[in-house]
Chain A
């Protein structure tokens, strides 16, 4: 296979995954959330149990008028949704689906790459918040920036723990080094990573930057139509990315019966299971208050992550 064809196949596969998996997760959110609230959720779009609801939503968003507020900083305002979406697309490149190089772009520093690119998302939050020329947007954006900066620390620390355990920064390498007893050994790190990941993608119960009951819709208040849809898509891709990273780092990725052939299936199954938990948490818990959010980060997650680092080092040296 020539290089360009190989590259094309990989890019097309990633873009397809980028467009399809978030929709599946979004539909799952619709239905799971509905049933957890003793509702049925969408039932009509597409015929069978409303499977095409998100497609219909997409069509609706495309038809809507694209409004830019008069006082807004136009170029920044219009660029922000793309900046929000782009990092997640790039992150998907590095996530291994199965053994034997079933990854769009094998990278020696995959973990670092993923964390670095995820960190860019906060720029989009600040851009959209400031450029909207709306006080609710600005408040939401500042909350978001404080939250994202704070939670990046436990996220990176807990990821560092598993990288220490595996002795590599490459994501396929980490999965290859994984063994079932890590579930116990790395459990605190997994928990910290998952929780701070939730906060990174601003999902309930960590959705203070959006907080519709206090800030209208936070930094997304002024967005309409397709640009708003981009933000929504970014949220769902965010779920997929955090679920995939949790799977790859802590749940053993493709490990399962017959990993050589069914590895991709195990990875996908775990990703969807973690996504289910993300939705489950959203339905079950009310939003944290801003000070509770920061307390949780600095007084619980960061110390736990540091303790886990020490534990990992001790076990690693003892073995």
Chain B
């Protein structure tokens, strides 16, 4: 096949070009009319980070893992007298938990490393400021974002059950039951739990 043979009839490209634009015109346009119409964000959009203060143990993992060093944490120790215990327990109390969203690059590592689920993604994104200093959200403001955290998505019915569930099931079944590793890819898919 020569190079000429691959060519179409002359003028076909012109017609095709016109057809493409005409077809596009009759379709709905892809424009998001954002301020007038709220965008339909996918679940788990990375809008802003919310803090559930009660869950935070001031382990500093998030602040240390943050690539931008944009999390600032201050705390002090408090003694908690537990009745019946030999001596008072020590507890970390959070004084300051700030995230500077002018530095944050929304990698989500802090949320990944948090061992106690104190940090959450929320899809809220309308927190632009006229002063860059106001992008430093303190722990109250981060706590306010908790209201906008969507409920966690349902478990994937085809996925591996969580470790807690698997352990509980194994304990209930008694000794000799298969371990989670053995049930990871069952021959017959388990019925979804209600």
Query: Contact residues of B with A, CB < 8 Å?
Result: 14, 17-18, 20-22, 24-25, 27, 29-31, 33
Contacts known (A284-B20, A284-B21); A34 close to B33, Cβ less than 8 A: no
- B29 and A283: CB pair below 8 A? no
Residue contacts A-B, CB under 8 angstroms, 28 given: A34-B29, A35-B24, A35-B25, A36-B21, A36-B22, A36-B24, A36-B25, A37-B24, A38-B24, A38-B27, A38-B29, A38-B30, A38-B31, A39-B29, A39-B30, A39-B31, A40-B29, A40-B31, A280-B18, A280-B21, A280-B22, A281-B18, A284-B14, A284-B17, A284-B18, A284-B20, A284-B21, A285-B17
Contact pick for A32, options B25, B27, B30, CB 8 Å:
B25
Which residues of A are found within 8 Å of B29, using beta-carbon distances? 34-35, 38-40
Can you list, as one digit per residue, whether each of A264-295 has a CB less than 8 Å from chain B (1) or not (0)?
00000000000000001101110000000000
The answer, yes or no, to whether A45 is at the interface (CB within 8 Å) is no
A152 vs chain B, min Cβ distance (A) = 24
* Nearest CB in chain A to that of B18: its residue: A284
The answer, yes or no, to whether A43 is at the interface (CB within 8 Å) is yes
> Secondary structure of the A side of the interface?
helix
* Nearest CB in chain B to that of A43: its residue: B33
Task: Find the residue from B14, B21, B22, B25 having the highest chain A CB count within 10 A.
Answer: B21
Contacts known (A284-B17, A284-B20, A285-B17); A40 close to B25, Cβ less than 8 A: no
Cα distance, A51 to B21, chains bound together (Å): 22
Cα distance, A69 to B33, chains bound together (Å): 41
B16 vs chain A, min Cβ distance (A) = 9
Cα distance, A34 to B20, chains bound together (Å): 14
B21 vs chain A, min Cβ distance (A) = 4
Q: List residues 74-121 of chain A with CB under 8 A from any CB of chain B.
A: none
A225 vs chain B, min Cβ distance (A) = 30
* Nearest CB in chain A to that of B17: its residue: A284
- A283 and B31: CB pair below 8 A? no
Task: Find the residue from B22, B25, B27, B30 having the highest chain A CB count within 10 A.
Answer: B25
A1 vs chain B, min Cβ distance (A) = 45
Q: 10 closest A-B pairs (Cβ-Cβ)? A: A36-B21, A284-B17, A40-B31, A35-B25, A36-B25, A284-B21, A38-B30, A38-B29, A283-B21, A284-B18
Q: List residues 17-42 of chain A with CB under 8 A from any CB of chain B.
A: 32, 34-40
* Nearest CB in chain B to that of A282: its residue: B21
Which residues of B are found within 8 Å of A40, using beta-carbon distances? 29, 31, 33
B89 vs chain A, min Cβ distance (A) = 61
B14 vs chain A, min Cβ distance (A) = 7
Which residues of B are found within 8 Å of A32, using beta-carbon distances? 25
Cα distance, A281 to B14, chains bound together (Å): 10
Cα distance, A37 to B31, chains bound together (Å): 10
* Nearest CB in chain B to that of A32: its residue: B25
Known: A40-B29, A40-B33. 6 other contacts (CB 8 A): A32-B25, A34-B29, A35-B25, A36-B22, A39-B30, A281-B18
